[in-house]
Amino acid sequence: KTDISYLFSEEERHLRANDRPFNLSYRYANNAIKTSKYNIFTFLPLNLFEQFRRLANAYFLFLFCLQLIPQVSSLSWFTTAVPLILVLGITAVKDANDDINRHRTDKQVNNRRVDVLVDGQLRNEKWMNVQVGDIIKLENNQFVTADLLLLSSSEPLNLVYVETAELDGETNLKVKQALTVTGEMGDSIDKLATFKGEVRCEPPNNRLDKFKGTLTLDQQVSSLDNDKVLLRGCTLRNTEWCFGLVVFGGPDTKLMQNSGKTVFKRTSIDHLMNVLVLCIFGFLATMCTILAIGNAIWEVKEGSVFTAFLPRENGIDASLSSFLTFWSYVIVLNTVVPISLYVSVEIIRLGNSFYIDWDRKMYYPKSDTPAQARTTTLNEELGQIKYIFSDKTGTLTQNIMTFNRCSIKGKAYGELFNSAGQRLEITEKTDKVDFSWNQLADPKFVFHDHSLLETVKDGNPEAQTFFRLLALCHTVMPEEKTEGELVYQAQSPDEGALVTAARNFGFVFRSRTPETITIMENGRKVVYELVAVLDFNNVRKRMSVIVRSPDGRITLFCKGADTIIYERLHPSCSKLMEVTTKHLNEYAGDGLRTLVLAYKDLDESYLGEWRQRHHEAVTSIEDREERLDEVYEEIEKDMMLLGATAVEDKLQDGVPQTIEQLAKADIKIWVLTGDKQETAENIGYSCNMLREEMKDIFIVAANTAEGVREELQSRAGLFWLQKTQSVQDEKVDGDYGLIINGHSLAFALEKNMQLELLRTACMCQTVICCRVTPLQKAQVVQLVKKYKQAVTLAIGDGANDVSMIKAAHIGVGISGQEGMQAVLSSDFSFAQFRYLQRLLLVHGRWSYLRMCKFLQYFFYKNFTFTFVHFWYAFFCGFSAQLCLDTHYWTAVNQFFVWGSLAAYFAVTFTMYSNGMFFIFTSAFPFVGTARNSLNQPNMWLTIFLASLLCILPVVAFRFILIQLRPTINDKVRHKVRKEALPAPPPRRPPPRRISTRRSGYAFSHAQGYGDLVTSKGFLRPLKSRPALFIQKDSALAQNEPQHYRTISEEPEGSMSP
């Protein structure tokens, strides 16, 4: 029976290898992809629908419809239709071109070829024809066709090397490994064709780093994780061939699941423009209403006089005329809402992004990495930044780790002292430890303390266990290019540095399989059975492995953060903890990254029971992470403390100077790091975030909610803050700093304590949060965004910074040692932290000022044209007539737009060039971030005063002209207003008719003068003169008959004698 529930909500994917009918019953998507939006039939309606969703386009479509009504429009329909069609056409052509390219890309990808195992033989099929459950063969340098379960490969131990640059941007090779039960099939077509394994796994999702599932083969269940899966978008490298089972195809692949719509970030100018456009709509409606009311009043008082010149249809009264006039002025004054505003803004933003991409001062030659504006819509927002949230490792530091010091069973190594017990400064001339005795040593590794090597060579058991742990407890993959030349592929620089240190001190990690780890211990090959790996994550902050040595000893090795490991140590380690803590504080004080090492011996019976619970947890699909955490917590306790490591991560070049300049610009910097408090505090002093001259540095380190509240309130009380529901910018006397650890931050981020934290933090110039998780980083950013009217920026370089980068208004990614995930999630990217100063204080500031000046000029230009017609309405009877020819206005408009832009850029490039800056330094004061340049009152006051000043000369000239040289019309109007109209004589009531009385008219009249009148002989010839009005029934004509004539007169020569 066909299960169609997957059509609606797929909760679990179930598939069977080499069984297409079974898999097709679930109706899974095939491997064809479609990224295009339109086809030949849907392009026009869909594209127009998308474009008319923009308010400006819909508004001008409405105007176009109004202009088709003759009773309303005084403009030709093409005055709105042409620009609207141009804007729609240009956008449609761009969208069509983009979609055609998407169609071509889809066709190219779908028609790629791959070998598919069908009916017991390999066939070369198109990608689009691949189905879920098919087994396919990939060769070296070939793209992975779909999301595959790796079955076997040509490499020893069934390893596969893949490059994921198109997936997550990381160029380093990643290693995948097939299950042993499937790897035994190799490249045997017969075995692969008869493979009937069943896979149950999670439904399609966009999590690139996670995969949960099980493989059932011959009633044996094996767990599947991300290391067993090849994702679409990867490229096979350094591997001759491999076979894989298709799990997800086409739109269900993780690559396509991640290609959804990106969250669109809007700038403050976008929001302000929307408000301004709405206000302009209201202003337009107000002007049209005023003019419509003026038309109604004019029609009532003066309209009947001018009906000969302004003919109206029968039955049109003042109210209807006013209604039609309102819509007529909506058309005439439509220029107050410019149709080209949004297009012009996008062009300017595109130009500003080119300035960032082309800036050679933000180019890093060592890695050949230029600055990149990954979005063109946020350039001007860079000039509004108030808060910067920064990661430490790889962002402020170089993220190039070197093993520097260590503490083994209470004894510290790595420092040099003279005979008097004083510490010696280590320089390049200091003698280095000679590792030439170790043929597998890394020649780049440098260490100066000879006593550590001597301790290891003397067979000290604690020292040997220390480096044995470093050689076993990791997820590094080795690659031996030539004999003795080992290259480690590490997920983090920390692990690479620690494994390299163990390698140089005689414990060389050589190879690993799913079941074993092989190391060389002082030249002797030792193979350890790998029982279990308790992997690291940002919540656990530790990693453990359980191994069985050749002599049968079972040991759990663990490394992690000091606070995490200390909670899980045996009580007998209390004295050693005190000594080790002292060493850790010294290392952190010098800005070193620390880890604590511990171990635990296990017995066989307990391990067997634990492995059963671990297997149940790892093979579960639902709540796998939670169940695994419970199993891990069970065994990671009562461990024995072994020692600690200290890894050095130097500051990047120019970091202190950059932070100092940003502080001068009144930008507050918050550092969110996973390092311990002492390390972060020392880095804060190193890069000038924390300074000795600060008035006070607050440290919040309570372990309870009430303790955190009391500490925050006591600090906030120093500022006399008012407890309000919003957090305002305050000025305090002196600079303050705040340091808070992860435990305290977790309590402070609760809803009832958020404002307490924010009030205290916002009063400080620098805030450092230690031991924070990626989720807490994002929560801190969202907290500031929620309660502060300020623009935020987050900058980081690793995958743990992605959530913070996405949460901020602007995200900046640094392309460093931790891959490209931060860069791919960012809005801007570059290679060094010091470039942030130029990005904000140069490009951000100027992008904002350029945009604001353009918008000010744009609105001023359109308001000027609109006000001309508004004032003209008072002189044309509010009849919605144009005072300027449309062709004339178009020419003037183009001249002012392009001419002003050319003049502006010429003056700008001249006045703000480097040469002028060095000549007139005092003329260029730095005022910090440019804020609120567009909504300053003086801009709108300028528009009002400029329009008023342009009207005053016209009004004054008109008033003086009327006084000095009045026209006949002016004289008539003046006289009519001065002399009141005589009251009409009272009408006598008509007499009642009496039927017996005959009319006197027939008896009183003699013969009339009809012949004389019709002969025109009695008329005296007059010189022709223009009539003021050809109107005989108006009140003015009846009272002033000398100024009017009601009979047509002819020139003197045309009269008959």
State yes or no: 104 annotated in a binding site.
no
In a domain, 1004, yes or no: no
The answer to whether the beta carbons of residues 804 and 773 sit under 8 Å apart is no
The domain spanning residue 491 has which CATH number?
A: 3.40.1110.10
pLDDT value of position 1028: 43
Q: Is 391 annotated as a binding residue?
A: yes
Q: Are residues 512 and 628 in the same domain?
A: yes
Among the options 252, 391, 442, 562, which is catalytic?
Answer: 391
Domain boundary among 215, 235, 257: 257
Residue 1029 confidence (pLDDT) above 70:
no
pLDDT average, residue stretch 594-600: 94
73 has a pLDDT exceeding 80: no
Which pLDDT band, with edges at 50, 70 and 90, does 257 fall under? confident
Q: Which two tokens stand for residue 415?
A: 């420092």
Question: Which strands make up the sheet holding 640-648, listed edge to edge?
Answer: 411-413, 402-408, 640-648, 592-602, 554-560, 542-548, 524-534, 516-521, 507-512
Give the range among 400-404, 813-817, 974-978 with minimum mean pLDDT. 974-978
Tell how strand 828-830 and strand 810-814 pair up. Answer: parallel
Question: 115 has which bridge partners?
Answer: 124, 137
Please report the pLDDT score of residue 7 as a whole number: 40
Other C-beta atoms closer than 10 Å to the C-beta of 657 total 13
3 is in an annotated binding site: no
Confidence at residue 1057, expressed as pLDDT on a 0 to 100 scale: 37
Shared domain for 467 and 601, answered yes or no, is: yes
In angstroms, how far is CA 1056 from the centroid of its own chain?
A: 91
Residue 559 is labelled as binding a ligand: yes
If asked whether residues 252 and 179 sit together in one domain, one would say yes
Among 204, 224, 257, identify where a domain stops. Answer: 257
pLDDT band at residue 920 using 50, 70 and 90 as cut-offs: low
- Predicted confidence (pLDDT) at residue 831 exceeds the cutoff of 80: yes
Residue 739 burial class via C-beta count within 10 angstroms: exposed 0-12, middle 13-18, buried 19 and up: buried
- Per-residue pLDDT at 599 exceeds 80: yes
pLDDT tier for residue 1026 given thresholds of 50, 70 and 90: very low
Q: What percent of the chain has pLDDT over 70?
A: 79
- Classify residue 612: in a domain, yes or no: yes
Examine residue 1012 and state whether it is found in any structural domain, yes or no: no
pLDDT reading at 728 higher than 60: no
701's tokens: 């380190």
Task: Average the pLDDT over 873-878 and give the result.
Answer: 85
**Do the domain assignments include residue 194?**
yes
Residue 854 belongs to a domain: no
**455: annotated binding-site residue?**
no
Min mean pLDDT across 143-147, 261-265, 563-567, 888-892 is at 261-265
CATH, residue 22: 2.70.150.10
Q: Which of 904, 170, 137, 843 is nearest to 492 (CA)?
A: 170
State whether 606 and 584 are in the same domain: yes
Regarding whether 641 and 657 lie in a shared domain, the answer is no
**Is pLDDT at 468 greater than 90 in this prediction?**
yes
Please check whether residues 472 and 611 belong to one and the same domain: yes
Say if residues 36 and 251 touch (Cβ distance below 8 Å): no
Q: Catalytic annotation on 431? A: no
641: left (phi over 0), alpha (psi -120 to 50) or beta: beta
Banded model confidence at residue 860, pLDDT cuts 50, 70, 90: confident
Q: Which residues contact 503 (CB under 8 A, 6 or more apart)?
A: 438, 440, 441, 442, 445, 471, 486, 509
Residue 506 is part of which domain span? 402-648
**Residue partners of 202: CB distance under 8 A and separation at least 6:** 12, 13, 211, 212, 213, 621
- Are residues 515 and 378 located together in one domain of the fold? no
Look up residue 734 and give its DSSP letter: S
Which ranges constitute the DSSP H helices of 912-1026?
914-919, 937-964, 968-978, 1001-1004, 1010-1014
The per-residue pLDDT for range 938-957, each reduced to its tens digit, is 666 766 776 676 677 777 88
- Predicted pLDDT at 79: 65
**Band (995; pLDDT cuts 50, 70, 90):** very low
- Cα dist from 412 to 409, 463, 587, 643, 645, whole Å: 9, 11, 10, 9, 10
Task: Read off the pLDDT of residues 291-341 as tens digits, 9 standing for 90 and up.
Answer: 999 988 888 887 666 655 555 555 567 788 888 888 888 888 877 877 677
Tally the domains of the chain: 3
Report whether 548 belongs to an annotated binding site. no
Over range 345-372, report the average pLDDT: 87
pLDDT at position 724: 44
The pairing of beta strand 696-700 with beta strand 736-740: parallel
Tokens representing residue 867 in the block = 């006000």
Q: Is 232 annotated as a binding residue?
A: no
Q: Which among 94, 99, 101 is positioned nearest to 51, based on CA atoms?
A: 94
- Range among 197-201, 328-332, 1040-1044 with highest mean pLDDT value: 197-201
Q: Are residues 597 and 745 in the same domain?
A: no
Kind and range of the H or E run holding 322: helix 318-332
Separation CA 849–CA 348 (nearest Å):
12
Q: Of residues 793 and 341, which shows the higher confidence score?
A: 793
Amino acid 792: pLDDT: 93
Q: Which of 549-563, 618-632, 810-824, 942-956 has the highest mean pLDDT?
A: 549-563
Instruction: Determine if residue 147 is labeled as part of a ligand binding site.
Output: no
Looking at the DSSP assignment, which residues form a beta bridge with residue 15?
199
Residues 603 and 688 in one domain: no
- Look up the CATH number of the domain holding residue 773: 3.40.50.1000
Write down the pLDDT at residue 1000.
41
**Amino acid 1007: pLDDT:** 53
Q: Is 601 annotated as a binding residue?
A: no
Residue 498 predicted with pLDDT over 90 = yes
Instruction: Please answer whether residues 867 and 291 qualify as being in contact, where contact means their C-beta atoms are separated by less than 8 angstroms.
Output: no
Mean pLDDT of the chain: 80
Pairing of strands 791-796, 385-390: parallel
Give the span between the Cα atoms of 378 and 353, in whole angstroms: 9
Name, of 343-347, 353-357, 635-639, 949-953, the range with top average pLDDT: 635-639
Is a pLDDT exceeding 90 seen at residue 741?
no
Position 449 in a domain:
yes
393: annotated binding-site residue? yes
- pLDDT value at position 535? 82
Q: Are strands 640-648 and 668-672 parallel, antiparallel or unpaired?
A: unpaired
pLDDT at residue 926 greater than cutoff 70: no
Task: Answer yes or no: are the C-beta atoms of 331 and 66 closer than 8 Å.
Answer: yes
Q: Quote the pLDDT of residue 1041.
A: 52
pLDDT digits (tens, 9 = 90+) for 19-48: 999 999 999 999 998 878 888 898 999 888
Which of 613, 648, 683 terminates a domain? The answer is: 648
CB neighbour burial string for 476-497, b if at least 16 within 10 angstroms, e if fewer: bbbeeeeeeebebebbbbbbbb
Res 472: pLDDT? 94
The verdict on 633 and 697 lying in the same domain is: no
Q: Which residues contact 435 (CB under 8 A, 6 or more apart)?
A: 441, 445, 453, 504
pLDDT tens digits for range 152-185: 999 877 888 888 766 665 556 788 889 989 999 9
Q: Is there a binding annotation on residue 512?
A: no
In this prediction, residue 555 carries a pLDDT of 95
In a domain, 897, yes or no: no
Task: Answer yes or no: do 831 and 695 share one domain.
Answer: yes
Confidence of residue 478 (pLDDT cuts 50, 70, 90): confident
Q: Is 777 annotated as a binding residue?
A: yes
Identify the H or E element spanning 117. strand 113-118
Mean pLDDT, range 197-224, rounded to an integer: 89
Please report, rounded to a whole number, the percentage of residues in the chain having pLDDT higher than 90.
27
279 in any annotated domain: no
Same domain, 17 and 111: yes
Q: What is the dihedral of CA 756, 762, 768, 772, to 10 degrees?
A: 50
How far apart, in whole angstroms, are the C-alpha atoms of residue 864 and residue 440?
A: 80
Residue whose structure tokens are 């010149």:
309
Range in 557-561, 638-642, 651-655, 1038-1042 with the lowest mean pLDDT: 1038-1042
Contact by Cβ (8 Å): 412, 592 = no
For the segment 82-117, what is each residue's pLDDT rounded down to a tens digit?
A: 777 887 887 788 788 878 988 888 898 899 999 999
Answer yes or no: is 357 a known binding residue.
no
For range 286-294, the mean pLDDT: 92
Does the predicted model carry a pTM greater than 0.75? no
Q: What is the pLDDT of residue 417?
A: 74
pLDDT higher for 327 or 717? 327
Helix axes 845-872, 268-301, angle to 10 degrees: 10
Q: How far apart are CA 420 and CA 422, in angstroms?
A: 6
